[in-house]
């Protein structure tokens, strides 16, 4: 028993020595494996990198988007000029809602106004008929017609010119009369000088007793007569000069009135012309459905004459005839928007084509909006291939306004950078 206890104690001492002094080879091997593992993880985190993905909503369309026509007012169709899936041209009328005007009359007046270039000189006279059914445009049309007729009469007859010519004749007559009076005045002054000299001689003779008193008084009356005649002539000259001044002033007023009247009538014509054209555009916007592009019209319902539509209801869609390329419109939230740049890759999955069966469409960002919309979303344009071929090699049949989801692949970032950025964030906190 004592021997077994001694052996146990000896073994315990040896075990203690081993535990307190482990072999150096084991330590080096363990440390080496640990450091190798750390270096391997760091190297892998430096080698491997992956991008952030921003999910958005996508809409597939063309560089020339389809035209959508909504009803501006609730009402019934007066006339439908096209059939479903019919080819249409730019500015072709598709349909018209019922209104108080006759369509042909409005289009007739519109054509007249489009061909009429309004300017001060009336090179071409236009004929504006009376018996037209224009409904809410009647007031504006009547005002334009009246202003045009007044301006045309003033331009053709030119009443201010007749007044100016009459005033010019009167002015010339007054100038001639004034010149004649000035000549008479010169003669009157000479006559006055002669009469004065005769009076002085008669006065000397009368003082010497050679001339009788009656004869002297007769000479005195003569000089008074000549003097009164000269004064009367001077007054007439003054009145004539005053009349000439008034005539010249009247000529200036007539010239100014002519310009003011012409400008006023022209302004009235321009205002009524502009107002009528604006109301015709408003009438078209409210009641006329018109194609703005060449393409094919598609009915967004079963439309027929006298059928009622509601305000804001989608009536027609015009699909462009030709388009250069396909694009996708992405509606992107503000979160992480700063990472999005032109040239980044985008993967688009369509709602009508499952991704696991058809794959995704690939595109490149071509344009990024600078400001958000009312919902604080940004809009991004993505260029697609000329043919809609997915990542699985399947070609997609294009339909306007196909919807889906998109993933924007931002700039790749190494795992090491992500880890360091996380440490920086924790440190700043």
| DSSP letter string, 258-313 | HHHHHHHHHHHHHHHHHHHHHHHHHHHHHHEEE--SSEEEEESS---TT-EE-TT-
How many separate domains does the chain show?
A: 2
Where a domain ends, among 246, 269, 291? 291
17: pLDDT strictly greater than 60: no
Q: Specify whether 220 is located in the same domain as 352.
A: no
Would 35 be classed as within a structural domain? no
Residues above pLDDT 70, as percent of the chain: 78
The arithmetic mean of pLDDT across residues 142-150, rounded, is 88
Q: Specify whether 269 is located in the same domain as 361.
A: no
Would 398 be classed as within a structural domain? yes
The arithmetic mean of pLDDT across residues 371-377, rounded, is 84
Question: pLDDT at position 31, please?
Answer: 65
Q: Specify whether 374 is located in the same domain as 277.
A: no
Half-sphere exposure of 64 (CA within 13 A, CB side): 11
Q: Specify whether 281 is located in the same domain as 385.
A: no
> Residue 3: which pLDDT band, with cuts at 50, 70 and 90?
very low
Q: Specify whether 287 is located in the same domain as 328.
A: no
Cα separation of 102 and 285, whole Å? 15
The arithmetic mean of pLDDT across residues 239-260, rounded, is 71
Would 311 be classed as within a structural domain? no
Which residues partner with 402 through β-bridges? 60
Question: pLDDT at position 100, please?
Answer: 85
Which residues partner with 363 through β-bridges? 346
The arithmetic mean of pLDDT across residues 279-285, rounded, is 90
412: pLDDT strictly greater than 70: no
Which residues partner with 318 through β-bridges? 67, 297
Would 76 be classed as within a structural domain? no
> Residue 20: which pLDDT band, with cuts at 50, 70 and 90?
low
- The CATH number of the domain holding residue 243 is 1.10.287.1490
294 exposed, middle or buried (CB, 10 Å; 0-12, 13-18, 19+)?
Answer: middle
Local structure of 23: helix, strand or coil: coil
> What is the average pLDDT value for the chain, to the nearest integer?
78
Q: Specify whether 138 is located in the same domain as 197.
A: yes
The arithmetic mean of pLDDT across residues 365-371, rounded, is 87
Would 60 be classed as within a structural domain? no
The arithmetic mean of pLDDT across residues 333-349, rounded, is 84
Q: Specify whether 262 is located in the same domain as 384.
A: no
Q: Specify whether 356 is located in the same domain as 267.
A: no
Q: Specify whether 265 is located in the same domain as 335.
A: no
Q: Specify whether 268 is located in the same domain as 355.
A: no
Would 115 be classed as within a structural domain? yes
289: pLDDT strictly greater than 60: yes
Q: Specify whether 245 is located in the same domain as 348.
A: no
368: pLDDT strictly greater than 70: yes
- Chain segment 31-46, per-residue pLDDT in tens: 677 677 767 666 665 6
Q: Specify whether 241 is located in the same domain as 337.
A: no
Would 72 be classed as within a structural domain? no
Q: Are 291 and 318 in contact (CB under 8 A)?
A: yes
- The CATH number of the domain holding residue 364 is 2.40.30.170
The arithmetic mean of pLDDT across residues 12-34, rounded, is 62
Where a domain ends, among 251, 274, 291? 291
| Winning range, highest mean pLDDT, from 174-178, 245-249, 289-293 | 289-293
Would 189 be classed as within a structural domain? yes
> Residue 103: which pLDDT band, with cuts at 50, 70 and 90?
confident
Range of the domain at 125: 91-291
Question: pLDDT at position 1, please?
Answer: 46
Tabulate helix, strand, coil % of the chain (nearest 5).
50, 20, 25
271: pLDDT strictly greater than 70: yes
The arithmetic mean of pLDDT across residues 176-181, rounded, is 78
């Amino acid at each position: 028993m004592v021997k077994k206890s001694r052996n146990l104690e000896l073994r315990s001492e040896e075990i203690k020595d081993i535990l307190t002094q482990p072999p150096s080879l084991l330590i080096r091997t363990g440390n080496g494996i640990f450091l190798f593992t750390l270096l391997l993880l760091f190297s892998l985190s430096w080698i491997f990198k992956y991008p952030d993905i921003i999910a958005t909503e996508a809409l597939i369309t063309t560089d020339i988007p389809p035209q959508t026509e909504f009803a501006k007012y609730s009402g019934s169709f007066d006339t439908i000029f096209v059939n479903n899936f019919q080819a249409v041209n730019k500015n072709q009328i598709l349909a018209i809602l019922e209104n108080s005007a006759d369509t042909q009359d409005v289009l007739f007046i519109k054509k007249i106004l489009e061909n009429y270039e309004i300017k001060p000189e009336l090179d071409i006279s236009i004929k504006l008929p009376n018996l037209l059914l224009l409904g809410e445009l009647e007031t504006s049309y009547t005002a334009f017609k009246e202003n045009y007729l007044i301006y045309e009469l003033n331009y053709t007859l030119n009443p201010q010119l007749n007044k100016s010519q009459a005033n010019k004749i009167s002015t010339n007559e007054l100038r001639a009369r004034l010149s004649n009076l000035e000549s008479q005045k010169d003669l009157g002054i000479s006559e006055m000088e002669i009469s004065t000299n005769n009076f002085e001689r008669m006065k000397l003779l009368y003082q010497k007793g050679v001339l009788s008193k009656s004869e002297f008084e007769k000479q005195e009356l003569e000089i008074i007569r000549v003097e009164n005649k000269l004064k009367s002539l001077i007054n007439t000259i003054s009145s004539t000069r005053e009349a000439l001044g008034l005539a010249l002033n009247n000529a200036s007023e007539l010239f100014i009135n002519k310009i003011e009247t012409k400008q006023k009538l022209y302004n009235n014509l321009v205002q009524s012309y502009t107002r009528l054209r604006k109301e015709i555009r408003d009438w078209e916007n409210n009641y006329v459905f018109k194609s703005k592009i060449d393409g094919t019209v598609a009915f967004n319902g079963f439309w027929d004459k006298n059928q009622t539509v509601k305000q804001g209801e989608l009536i027609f869609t015009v699909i462009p005839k030709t388009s250069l390329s396909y694009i996708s419109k992405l509606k992107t939230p503000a979160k992480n928007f700063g990472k999005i740049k032109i040239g980044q890759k985008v993967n688009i999955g369509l709602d009508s084509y499952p991704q696991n069966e058809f794959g995704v469409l690939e595109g490149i960002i071509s344009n990024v909006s600078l400001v958000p919309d009312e919902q604080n979303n940004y809009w991004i344009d993505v260029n697609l291939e000329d043919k809609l071929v997915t990542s699985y090699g399947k070609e997609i049949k294009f339909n306007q306004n196909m919807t889906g989801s998109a993933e924007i692949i931002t700039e790749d970032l190494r795992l090491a950078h992500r880890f360091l950025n996380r440490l920086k964030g924790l440190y700043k906190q």
